[in-house]
Structure 1
Amino acid sequence: MTRDSISPRDIARSLPGILRRLPAIAKGYYYYSIEDKKKDLTLGTLVERNARKHGHRTAILYEDRSITWHEFDQWSNRIAGFLKAEGLIKGDAIAILLENRPELLAVVAGAAKIGVACAMLNTSQKGRVLAHSINLISPKMIVVGEELVDSFDGVRADIHTGHPKAFLYLADTNTLNIFGEAPDGYVNMAAQVSAYSNTPPRPVDPPTMGDTAVYLFTSGTTGLPKAAPGSHRKFMKAYGGFGMMSLDMKPDDILYCTLPLYHGTALVICWGSVLAGGSAIALRRRFSASAFWDDVRYFHATAFGYVGELCRYLLNQPASDQDRNHKLTKMIGNGLRPSIWKEFKERFGIETVAELYASSEGNIGFSNFFNLDNTVGFSTAPYKLVKFHHGTRDPVRDGDGFMQEVEKGEPGLLISEITKTWSFEGYTQKDATEKSILRDAFSKGDQWFNTGDVLKQIGCGHLQFVDRMGDTFRWKGENVSTTEVENILDGSGMVEEAIVFGVEIPDTNGKAGMVTLVPHCSGEAFDANRLFRYLTDNLPPYAVPVFVRVTSAIEKTGTFKYRKVDIQKAGYSIDKPGEQVYAWLPGTEGYTPLTPELVAEIDAGEVRF
């Protein structure tokens, strides 16, 4: 049983810890609440500050490499000088296609120093989805790591840029002075950067807190990825709110990060928290459950960044007498399920769970400031939980056209008021921004951001996450757009019509992708593995449907809308005559027809997806 309520007594019990952190809280609140967008507090100035205060302390740990704040600052200065010499100025953008390695952070910091924004490309994307994401930003240059050249070469001809040396290459050497050889059509960025001065750049028009620092890509609610601009102010909120107020990061703290740095949780929240403490970030290319605690011990990590799925994978590892043999006591992230919260803390000796709720594009965030169990915490932003139409992101309106709040304890759609203080930066696409704004919700002229997420009040202003709504679902720590997957399916030539949705699998986090489809009438038997090969060529692995239901017709309403609720209820059951259901089982390279025995194993949690 999990406890889903928070009382004043729970708050009181947390007060001694709050009092001990009072200086950090006061300082953090100052940075969190700064509203002057013209202030010269930026990601670049935070790096420079740490170089002055903690120059000889470690900033980045990666494999066997250690980089100090002084070295990192000088490296980012050289990158800034290179970009400036290439004609880039404040307001321009570059795109970054790199896996988790120090070069990514150095490029982001260097670009920030001259006001150039970095579009953080999802390294799992390929084909037209990747091309779409890049062209949304119209970047002047694209930085491509050696490990992702093949993915980028597949779309290079479709990229629109006017810069004569647009494609920059970074060899995967993990050595500062070994540059490698750039492929044809690329500029060797590391070799070029090495020739520039390590002194701070002096841009004519220096960046300010309100300027865009990064673009983060989100599935949003429908269609292909959307680009959400993130200002330096977002980093300042993470710097003060999470790094100081929640985690109380210190110079001797080390945060272990296996989350991809193209995600806001890793780049803005984890790295922002590290910046706040003058701490170090220890990077790994991608998460490994079996190597996790060995890495934590190797790096002497004291904190880590998580998503809920990551925590479940760690719990699924066999128990060991080494489970508490480490220095790690605090964690920050989102999606830790109440069903495993207490077990995770007790097994691994975690003291602080800084669970949070936020989105790349949103204007609201929640933080578990009091370190209570099973909650995303509270927010100082104005928000409401309102009634909604199930299966959609649409709020219910009464006879006067206004929205209705839910009763305390009832799940409700989270909406956040858009004000001067709590502005909504939106997306690069105006129509996508407009679709996320609710107007005249409680009075004429008001504006609210529709998060598309369902939460519930559990006491003392604290909320608990319930579910995502509408046309996205979350799987393997990623948001999957059903429309994006449906669009890819439409291009296969194998499908007459298809409906994509998420289904729950016992003992997993999030929802696995499933498609119910009517095959194209070609006179040949449906080839599930041909479809699988097509999907894996055109979608990142987390977006490839885990289940496929092949049917002769998909039921619709009288207004020709699909009966999505009924389709979702059927899930991956195999009791419908004339229909075949397939599953992409772990460790396989294709779809396997489901049998009663396989369904029973999946339902029993015996198949580890």
Structure 2
Amino acid sequence: MSQDNVSARDIVRSIPGIVRRFPSIAKGYYYYSVKNEKKELTLGTLVERNAEKYPSRPAIAYEDRSLTWSEFNAWANRIANFLLAQGLVKGESIAVFLENRPEILAVVAGAAKIGVSCAMLNTSQKGKVLEHSVNLIKPRMVVVGEELVEPFDAVKADLLTRHRTPFLFLADTNTLNIFGDAPEGYVNMAEKVSAHGGTNPVLSNPPKMGDTAIYLFTSGTTGLPKAAPGSHRKFVKAYGGFGLMSLAMEPEDVLYCTLPLYHGTALLVCWGSVLAGGSSIALRRKFSASAFWDDVRHYNATTFGYVGELCRYLLNQPAGEQDRNHSLTKMIGNGLRPSIWKEFKDRFGIETVAELYASSEGNIGFSNFFNMDNTVGFSTAPYKLVKFHEGTRDPIRNKKGYMQAVRKGEPGLLIGEITKKWSFEGYTQKEATEKSILRDAFKKGDAWFNTGDVLKEIGCGHLQFVDRMGDTFRWKGENVSTTEVENILDGSGMVEEAIVYGVEIPKTNGKAGMVTLVPQNNGSEFDINKLFAYLKKNLPAYAIPVFVRVTHAIEKTGTFKYRKVDIQKAGYSLGKSGEEVYAWLPRTDGYTKLDEKLVSEIDAGKVSF
């Protein structure tokens, strides 16, 4: 198969593999297609089903610790009963601020059992961004891990919570029986939970499939993070679509997950797939390229969750005899670039790449069901690829006001039709939800979700990801809102004007953040590293601009709009006289002024961002 084509012959070649996993596919299609929002099919019932069916099989592995499905379910029940004792009821929410460890899954499962939703806070957030995210939800309580108490304490006084003892502490001990000591102002959650029973809660009004289970935070298109509600149905769809139809997970499977569990790819896709097979999820706190294969061998992992950047890091490791000395045969995730797809599969002996396309808030998803190369697969949801204004996420409308589909093979803005079956859950903020909806696109009264992403068809209904458009770009596996970063820059008191955008760096995935700025003219000399310290305090590391262009003026159009496309094309190249370009180089704690030699090294891929 060519890099940019899926043919009918390729589909036919995949049929024997599909026949072999037909029972799993048929079962998966049932769960993927369940429509009854009132059905008592939820994250909690999926966990309980595995505890009944596979009580002694491992559910979670972490470092030297392993929990069976029976043990995990009992733990989740104790958490559910604790939350009930705290007065929480169906329809309310808590926020979760924990790094990857078993406690995060137990809290989410326990809350889900009683209809309490979990807002999954990004552990990289701090300062104003973290405060904003918590206050979007106004949770009854917040669960804080020992590893994150310091950034949380910095915003605690400004949070809008609704409980007399809202802050719950979980010590970082990796054991059920050692509770640690809670700091002042926190309740020791593990200690309190241990006093409750481990039987499944019996409720007069249990949660239903259509109820909200989680909130995932996304940069969306503009501004500070938005909270996207995710119903139990999203877990059920991942259970059927990814776990059974794409991966055919079994109880013997182990999925190794280093992706952060506050992300939909890890929490919904990876864990949902594990739930489907009665399989085990092996967690690591943070991804390590050097430790990856040792971990895989330690856990006997058969599957792993990925983003494209992770795969590139693994390929950048020196090749060796151990590259195929492992049990991995399957992988699921997004962002694997066509330029490294075949090389990654061949080097590491991967058979199935279940590449997918989805978004936390969106109503449309694609899955590489046929295991084709270089594609996010196909979708049964109604969608169009339409013409758009370059450098924006805005579709082009014709003289009648309607949108125009692109020709086959041409890049187009992906939009998904909003219907009763393919509903758009949107955000907690109605205004933000409305901004993502395109109305009267092809006829009066229709409505479509604007993904803001550009894809192209490569044959047989299969799409390939091209780029993220508009005011959001992706770096280090995270979505970065340009407006969010600009707002933080505005608050520094050091910048008169700033425009933020993403630029490509050779041999990296996604786009690195860059800002072109005009310093504040207040008589004092501009201090680039004072600005860096401020950004580090108020932004997660992935959102801090990698490059900074300092200039005297930013060119605008006759209608006073920034020439963003032209600025973006210039990238980090050395510009006109009087301009300076800086880079945040790897393993440094500040900006370094670029010269021609450094630019050449970055262009040649010699600097490992």
**Aligned equivalent of 1:513:** 513
**Aligned equivalent of 1:277:** 277
**Aligned equivalent of 2:419:** 419
| Structure 1 residue 205 displacement after superposition | 1.1
DSSP-derived class of the 2:88 partner? coil
The answer as to whether partners of 1:246 and 1:368 remain within 8 angstroms in 2 is yes
Q: Following the alignment from structure 1 to structure 2, what is the Cα–Cα distance between the partners of residues 575 and 238?
A: 48
Pairs aligned (count): 609
**Aligned equivalent of 1:162:** 162
2:485 partner amino acid:
V
1:398 partner amino acid:
N
Once the two structures are overlaid, the 10-residue window that deviates more, 282-291 or 195-204, is: 195-204
**Aligned equivalent of 1:112:** 112
2:472 partner amino acid:
T
Q: Following the alignment from structure 2 to structure 1, what is the Cα–Cα distance between the partners of residues 153 and 345?
A: 44
Which deviations, in whole Å up to 9, do the C-alpha atoms of 1:365-392 show, x marking residues without a partner? 0000000000000000000000001111
Q: Following the alignment from structure 2 to structure 1, what is the Cα–Cα distance between the partners of residues 377 and 57?
A: 32
**Aligned equivalent of 1:152:** 152
Q: Which runs of 4+ in 1 moved over 6 A?
A: none
2:92 partner amino acid:
D
**Aligned equivalent of 1:11:** 11
**Aligned equivalent of 1:122:** 122
Q: Following the alignment from structure 1 to structure 2, what is the Cα–Cα distance between the partners of residues 28 and 159?
A: 41
Q: Following the alignment from structure 1 to structure 2, what is the Cα–Cα distance between the partners of residues 587 and 427?
A: 36
| Structure 1 residue 203 displacement after superposition | 2.0
| Structure 1 residue 569 displacement after superposition | 1.2
The answer to whether residue 374 in structure 2 is matched with residue 374 in structure 1 is: yes
The answer as to whether partners of 1:234 and 1:268 remain within 8 angstroms in 2 is yes
TM-score by length of 2: 1.00
1:123 partner amino acid:
T
Q: Following the alignment from structure 2 to structure 1, what is the Cα–Cα distance between the partners of residues 338 and 136?
A: 38
**Aligned equivalent of 1:340:** 340
DSSP-derived class of the 2:81 partner? helix
Once the two structures are overlaid, the 10-residue window that deviates more, 524-533 or 407-416, is: 524-533
| Structure 1 residue 162 displacement after superposition | 2.3
Q: Following the alignment from structure 1 to structure 2, what is the Cα–Cα distance between the partners of residues 428 and 161?
A: 16
Q: Following the alignment from structure 2 to structure 1, what is the Cα–Cα distance between the partners of residues 449 and 282?
A: 35
The answer as to whether partners of 2:228 and 2:425 remain within 8 angstroms in 1 is yes
Q: Following the alignment from structure 1 to structure 2, what is the Cα–Cα distance between the partners of residues 19 and 171?
A: 48
**Aligned equivalent of 2:61:** 61
The answer as to whether partners of 1:330 and 1:352 remain within 8 angstroms in 2 is yes
**Aligned equivalent of 2:70:** 70
Structure 2 gap segments, 5+ residues each:
none
Q: Following the alignment from structure 1 to structure 2, what is the Cα–Cα distance between the partners of residues 162 and 327?
A: 47
**Aligned equivalent of 1:534:** 534
| Structure 1 residue 2 displacement after superposition | 5.9
The answer as to whether partners of 1:2 and 1:338 remain within 8 angstroms in 2 is no
Which deviations, in whole Å up to 9, do the C-alpha atoms of 1:7-39 show, x marking residues without a partner? 000000000000000000000000000000000
DSSP-derived class of the 2:324 partner? coil
Which deviations, in whole Å up to 9, do the C-alpha atoms of 1:182-205 show, x marking residues without a partner? 000000000000000111111221
The answer to whether residue 517 in structure 2 is matched with residue 524 in structure 1 is: no
Q: Following the alignment from structure 2 to structure 1, what is the Cα–Cα distance between the partners of residues 281 and 569?
A: 43
Q: Following the alignment from structure 1 to structure 2, what is the Cα–Cα distance between the partners of residues 330 and 421?
A: 30
**Aligned equivalent of 2:204:** 204
Which deviations, in whole Å up to 9, do the C-alpha atoms of 1:221-240 show, x marking residues without a partner? 00000000000000000000
2:162 partner amino acid:
G
Q: Following the alignment from structure 2 to structure 1, what is the Cα–Cα distance between the partners of residues 470 and 268?
A: 26
1:120 partner amino acid:
M
DSSP-derived class of the 1:322 partner? helix
Q: Following the alignment from structure 1 to structure 2, what is the Cα–Cα distance between the partners of residues 2 and 91?
A: 50
State how 1:466-505 maps to structure 2 within 5 Å: 466-505=466-505
State how 1:323-362 maps to structure 2 within 5 Å: 323-362=323-362
**Aligned equivalent of 2:308:** 308
The answer as to whether partners of 1:29 and 1:245 remain within 8 angstroms in 2 is yes
Which deviations, in whole Å up to 9, do the C-alpha atoms of 1:422-467 show, x marking residues without a partner? 0000000000000000111011100100000000000000000000
The answer as to whether partners of 2:217 and 2:227 remain within 8 angstroms in 1 is yes
The answer as to whether partners of 2:93 and 2:116 remain within 8 angstroms in 1 is yes
| Structure 1 residue 524 displacement after superposition | 2.6
Which deviations, in whole Å up to 9, do the C-alpha atoms of 1:127-178 show, x marking residues without a partner? 0100100010110000000000001101001101120010000000001010
The answer as to whether partners of 2:138 and 2:162 remain within 8 angstroms in 1 is no
**Aligned equivalent of 1:436:** 436
| Structure 1 residue 559 displacement after superposition | 1.1
**Aligned equivalent of 1:554:** 554
| Structure 1 residue 3 displacement after superposition | 1.2
TM-score by length of 1: 1.00
The answer as to whether partners of 1:133 and 1:226 remain within 8 angstroms in 2 is yes
Q: Following the alignment from structure 1 to structure 2, what is the Cα–Cα distance between the partners of residues 62 and 530?
A: 39
**Aligned equivalent of 1:135:** 135
Structure 1 gap segments, 5+ residues each:
none
The answer to whether residue 254 in structure 2 is matched with residue 254 in structure 1 is: yes
2:560 partner amino acid:
F
| Structure 1 residue 523 displacement after superposition | 2.2
State how 1:379-390 maps to structure 2 within 5 Å: 379-390=379-390
Which deviations, in whole Å up to 9, do the C-alpha atoms of 1:252-309 show, x marking residues without a partner? 0000000000000000000000000000000000000010001000110000000000
Q: Following the alignment from structure 2 to structure 1, what is the Cα–Cα distance between the partners of residues 185 and 569?
A: 51
Q: Following the alignment from structure 1 to structure 2, what is the Cα–Cα distance between the partners of residues 367 and 160?
A: 39
DSSP-derived class of the 2:361 partner? coil
Which deviations, in whole Å up to 9, do the C-alpha atoms of 1:38-67 show, x marking residues without a partner? 000000000000000000000000000000
Q: Following the alignment from structure 1 to structure 2, what is the Cα–Cα distance between the partners of residues 315 and 525?
A: 43
1:351 partner amino acid:
E
Query: RMSD in angstroms over aligned alpha carbons?
Result: 0.7
Q: Following the alignment from structure 1 to structure 2, what is the Cα–Cα distance between the partners of residues 211 and 58?
A: 28
Once the two structures are overlaid, the 10-residue window that deviates more, 351-360 or 563-572, is: 563-572
Q: Following the alignment from structure 1 to structure 2, what is the Cα–Cα distance between the partners of residues 575 and 169?
A: 50
DSSP-derived class of the 2:496 partner? strand
1:561 partner amino acid:
K
Q: Following the alignment from structure 1 to structure 2, what is the Cα–Cα distance between the partners of residues 576 and 54?
A: 66
The answer as to whether partners of 1:2 and 1:339 remain within 8 angstroms in 2 is no
Q: Following the alignment from structure 2 to structure 1, what is the Cα–Cα distance between the partners of residues 2 and 594?
A: 34
Which deviations, in whole Å up to 9, do the C-alpha atoms of 1:367-420 show, x marking residues without a partner? 000000000000000000000011111100011110000000000000000000
